[in-house]
Amino acid sequence: MNKKGLKINFNSKDAQTHNQPAQSVSMTLKTSLDNLIEHVVTLSSIYDEQIYELRNKTRELKREVNQLKKEMKEIKQWQTQKKESHN
């Protein structure tokens, strides 16, 4: 009996029936969350790889730029020497 003196019939089978939708929703949410986490981990791995490749490419391009600057400097020196030798 409850506080008001009414008898409450409680059947554990009824409780299980009422809990099934909640359990189903809970399992669906858990599965969705697991899938989302897996997707995020996969994307993170892909992005990490792309960042690594971009850093390598950036280093390579910096080396090329420095080499070109060096060559330009040599060309300017050569041009200056050539002008001086003609004068």
For residue 16, tell me if it sits in a domain. no
Percent of the chain with pLDDT over 90: 63
What is the domain range of residue 38? 28-86
User: Does any domain span residue 1?
Assistant: no
Does 82 map to a domain? Answer: yes
38 in Cβ contact with 46 (< 8 Å): no
pTM of model > 0.75? no
Cα dihedral 42, 48, 53, 55, rounded to 10, equals: 170
Instruction: Give the chain's domain count.
Output: 1
pLDDT at 34 over 70: yes
| φ, ψ (nearest 5 deg) of residue 54 | -65, -40
Predicted pLDDT of residue 11: 60
Predicted confidence at residue 4, as pLDDT, reads 58
19 lies in a domain? no
Q: In this structure, are residues 15 and 9 in contact, taking their beta carbons and an 8 Å threshold?
A: no
Is the residue at 78 inside a domain?
A: yes
Instruction: Indicate whether 13 belongs to any domain.
Output: no
Q: What is the pLDDT of residue 85?
A: 86
Q: Is residue 20 domain-resident? A: no
